[in-house]
Amino acid sequence: MLLDPHATPPDEGGGKKQKGKTSKRVLKPAPTPSPSRLSELDIFSKVKKKHFQELVSHCEGLVLQRDTRLSTSIDEPQVLILLTGQICLCDDGEALRAAEKKRRKKELFKATEKTHALFGSGDVIWPSHIETSEALALITITECDAIQIPLAVFEKFLAGSSAFKSALRSRIENWLSVFDGLKNDSRRADIFDFYLKNGFSYSTRTKIRQLELCIDCDKCVEGCEERHGFSRLERFGPEVGLVNFSVSCRQCYDPRCLTECNFDAIARDPISKEIRIVMDRCTGCSVCARNCPNDSIFIHPLTEDIDKSLWEEQGKRAPKKTAVKCDRCAGYDDMACISACPTGSMIDIEPKDIFSLLESSPRPVMSEAPFESGVSEERERKSFAPFIYAIAAMVFGALFLEWLSREHFGNILWLKAYAEDLAPSTSGRRVVPYKGFGYALGVGGAICLASTLLYVFRKRMPRLFFWLGPTRMWYILHNALGGLAPGLLVLHASFHFNQWPALGVIAGLALVVTGWLGQYLSSRLPGQEYVHQRERDSMNGLLQEMSKDWGEHTRSVNLAEVMLTLERDKEARKAKEMSVIATLGRFIRDDFAQRRQLVRIRFGPLRSIRNRKLRAQMLRVYRDKLTLDRFERYHQRLAPIVNAWRKVHIFFAIGFVFVSFLHVAFILWDEFAS
């Protein structure tokens, strides 16, 4: 096993070393920012120099360390303007206060129950524009340079500078629109909370697996290990819907791993700007790994089979273990994990590209589309599947119209060949399977059928059939040709199923149905679970609000409260282990039961509510809730059903191939015998 021996001299930090003894690194305090740095912000670009100098004379520079709590209700009237760094607006609850007491590796903002907003460079933290009665806290995510201005001075400056006032109003309106949008949309709010708590706000790169493309072959990890000696990433990281964020270095712009290394063994490369481990200096003390907020630095033992020439050439004794991390294959023309992925599932991407960030701010807009529909590095690949499916459908449609014109009207539509089909055979049929157009349809169906096996070979034997290209492409062709082949064979038989080869046609039709249904279930399963959970959280929040409102307006009935009670007792009503047939039967039975229950509610308890709009809203919410309950109850059985459906699909595929093979063999035998 060989190690990647790249060693780069550090350009950050520094620590004095004594012979035979290592002194603890003493970090110099960050310099206090000068108030004149306000001129770097866009909102001050059009301010007159005289007004700006007057404002600066009353300002004070501040350096806010990570995990510093600020107060949303500032006792002294001060305005805070951020120059650099990030501050999070989050819930101030028991979880946050408990995290403050522990002060472990986990950042404070990650311990809070919910995050609501993000302040970045150029934002003004002014308590009057945070209009909420909830208990909130401001927590610094990264080290921040800020300028503090007395409120009275700031208001005077604001009144005297119309250009600054206009720029500030635009920025605050933008902030409030994002804040209100997240507050009123639980879907985007959940993604935003995930974005902050998993540290993507201060990440510059991340590797993701597109679950709709991943085939779990582990080639990404193997490729990384083959190149570097150790695997520098883990496949299974934080996951939302169809996107899994692999555990690998995200190249934070505010790296925690650099600050406490006493050996200068981790540094930012001055050329590539990648944070890298200097192997010949690392002692495996694991300080950097403990400080990494994303657990992206791994400590590996240096066993006997590992080449230690890197240390021996410098007259050093190799340590027992060393730290390794992803540096995006600095010094190479490609990234090993991405090049090794056979389907294009693994990609390296900037967080802003997947979380829909604004270009001028770290503040996210957040869209659920990438997590529900999938994300691809090359957008044109998204159109490949519909294009191939459309081609297959058009081919079948054109051949069906040609068959219809020949068989029933005795005319050639567009295919000039096989004119002998126009004369009826002894059976009265014009298109017969043993000659002409009908024979060609059979040959075409056989070719399509044989071509579907290429996907099976590419997936099951990747080392032998890697030259076929991406597995994803053959998966799409497998679906398209798998649907086209039985259709051609049906036309080949002219819809006559009175002989034994018709068993193959029937098996082919069953093959298409089971294949498409299984594909739909398996492709919807990863993202649908996330969508369902978001809808349930949103539904429960709406029920809470409605229950509170109804408690104030009616005492006779509070159906929302009854529904919340049923929600708490739902676990006791969940279906246990059921067979596929029992699951389908119970699903249909519950569907009729839901309809009866809605009728009873509509003409029962809801009649006592005089407000027609409230009555209609409650009925709609109750119907949606029953649908979600039913989906959640049977969601646990989706994966086993998909597995069972695959076995049925394979069974019909074997039957289809077997009967088709016998049919072709008999035809060839007859031709050879004659």
Q: pLDDT by residue (tens digit) across 180-193?
A: 777 777 778 888 88
Measured over all CA atoms, what is the biggest interatomic distance in the chain, rounded to whole angstroms? 107
Instruction: Give pLDDT, residue 535.
Output: 55
Which of 282, 290, 356 has the alpha carbon at shortest distance from 319? 282
Q: How far is CA 118 from CA 74, 142, 195, 196, 623, in A?
A: 18, 12, 11, 8, 36
Task: Please indicate whether residue 370 or residue 65 has the higher confidence score (pLDDT).
Answer: 65
The whole-number average pLDDT for the span 166-179 is: 82
Residue 654, pLDDT above cutoff 60: yes
Write out the DSSP string of 274-339: -EEE-TTT-----HHHHH-TT---EEEE--TTS--HHHHTTT-PPPSEEEE---SSTTSSS-HHHH
Stretch among 252-256, 352-356, 427-431 having the lowest mean pLDDT: 427-431
Instruction: Give pLDDT, residue 374.
Output: 67
Stretch among 163-177, 281-295, 533-547, 638-652 having the lowest mean pLDDT: 533-547
Stretch among 52-56, 231-235, 509-513, 539-543 having the lowest mean pLDDT: 539-543
φ, ψ dihedrals at 92, nearest 5°? -105, 90
Residue 11, pLDDT above cutoff 50: no
Query: Which of the given ranges, 56-65, 91-100, 495-504, 567-576, has the highest pLDDT on average?
Result: 56-65
Question: How many residues are given for the chain?
Answer: 674
Distance, in Å, from the CA atom of 106 to the CA atom of 99, rounded to the nearest integer, reads: 8
Instruction: Give pLDDT, residue 530.
Output: 46
Residue 243, pLDDT above cutoff 90: no
Stretch among 300-314, 437-451, 453-467 having the lowest mean pLDDT: 453-467
Q: How far is CA 182 from CA 96, 296, 388, in A?
A: 21, 29, 39
Residue 424, pLDDT above cutoff 70: no
φ, ψ dihedrals at 578, nearest 5°? -130, 150
The whole-number average pLDDT for the span 171-180 is: 79
Stretch among 100-104, 448-452, 572-576 having the lowest mean pLDDT: 572-576
Q: What is the pLDDT of residues 538-561, one digit of tens each?
A: 556 666 666 555 554 444 445 555
Residue 357, pLDDT above cutoff 80: no
Task: Please indicate whether residue 169 or residue 215 has the higher confidence score (pLDDT).
Answer: 169
Do 535 and 628 touch, CB atoms closer than 8 A? yes
Instruction: Give pLDDT, residue 103.
Output: 58
Residue 428 one-letter amino acid: G
Task: Please indicate whether residue 622 or residue 443 has the higher confidence score (pLDDT).
Answer: 443
Q: What is the pLDDT of residues 38-53, one digit of tens each?
A: 998 988 888 888 889 9
Stretch among 104-108, 120-124, 227-231, 562-566 having the lowest mean pLDDT: 562-566
Stretch among 54-68, 275-289, 556-570, 623-637 having the lowest mean pLDDT: 556-570
Residue 367, pLDDT above cutoff 60: yes
Residue 449, pLDDT above cutoff 60: yes
Residue 442, pLDDT above cutoff 90: no
Residue 484, strand partner residues: none
Could you tell me what percent of the chain has a pLDDT over 70?
A: 72
Write down the domain spans for the chain.
17-22+199-379, 35-183, 382-517+648-673, 527-640
The whole-number average pLDDT for the span 287-292 is: 90
The chain-wide mean pLDDT, for the chain, equals 76
Q: What is the pLDDT of residues 306-335, one digit of tens each?
A: 878 888 888 888 888 999 999 888 888 889
Q: How far is CA 559 from CA 299, 549, 598, in A?
A: 56, 12, 13
The topology under which CATH files domain 35-183 is Jelly Rolls (2.60.120)
Residue 593, pLDDT above cutoff 70: yes
- Whether the model pTM is above 0.85: no
Q: In terms of DSSP H, where are the helices of 7-150?
A: 49-56, 94-102, 108-111
Q: pLDDT band for 246, please (50, 70, 90 cuts).
A: very high
Do 121 and 30 touch, CB atoms closer than 8 A? no
Which of 289, 301, 320, 297 has the alpha carbon at shortest distance from 229? 301
The whole-number average pLDDT for the span 163-182 is: 82
Query: Which of the given ranges, 237-251, 298-312, 450-464, has the highest pLDDT on average?
Result: 237-251
Stretch among 316-320, 410-414, 451-455, 554-558 having the lowest mean pLDDT: 554-558
Q: How far is CA 194 from CA 11, 23, 446, 532, in A?
A: 33, 39, 50, 16
Q: Mark residue 114 as left, alpha or beta (left: phi above 0; alpha: psi -120 to 50; beta: remaining).
A: beta
Residue 395, pLDDT above cutoff 90: yes
Do 69 and 139 touch, CB atoms closer than 8 A? yes
Classify 90 as helix, strand or coil. strand
Stretch among 253-257, 516-520, 645-649 having the lowest mean pLDDT: 516-520
Instruction: Give pLDDT, residue 3.
Output: 37
Task: Please indicate whether residue 572 or residue 485 has the higher confidence score (pLDDT).
Answer: 485
Dihedral angle, C-alpha 221, 223, 224, 229, nearest 10 °: 110
Task: Please indicate whether residue 573 or residue 92 has the higher confidence score (pLDDT).
Answer: 92
The whole-number average pLDDT for the span 549-577 is: 50
Instruction: Give pLDDT, residue 21.
Output: 43
Helices (H) and strands (E) in the chain, counts: 20, 18
Q: pLDDT band for 177, please (50, 70, 90 cuts).
A: confident
Instruction: Give pLDDT, residue 492.
Output: 83
The whole-number average pLDDT for the span 370-385 is: 61
Instruction: Give pLDDT, residue 130.
Output: 47
Distance, in Å, from the CA atom of 118 to the CA atom of 87, rounded to the nearest integer, reads: 6
Distance, in Å, from the CA atom of 66 to the CA atom of 238, rounded to the nearest integer, reads: 23
Which of 106, 307, 338, 36 has the alpha carbon at shortest distance from 207? 338
Instruction: Give pLDDT, residue 365.
Output: 65
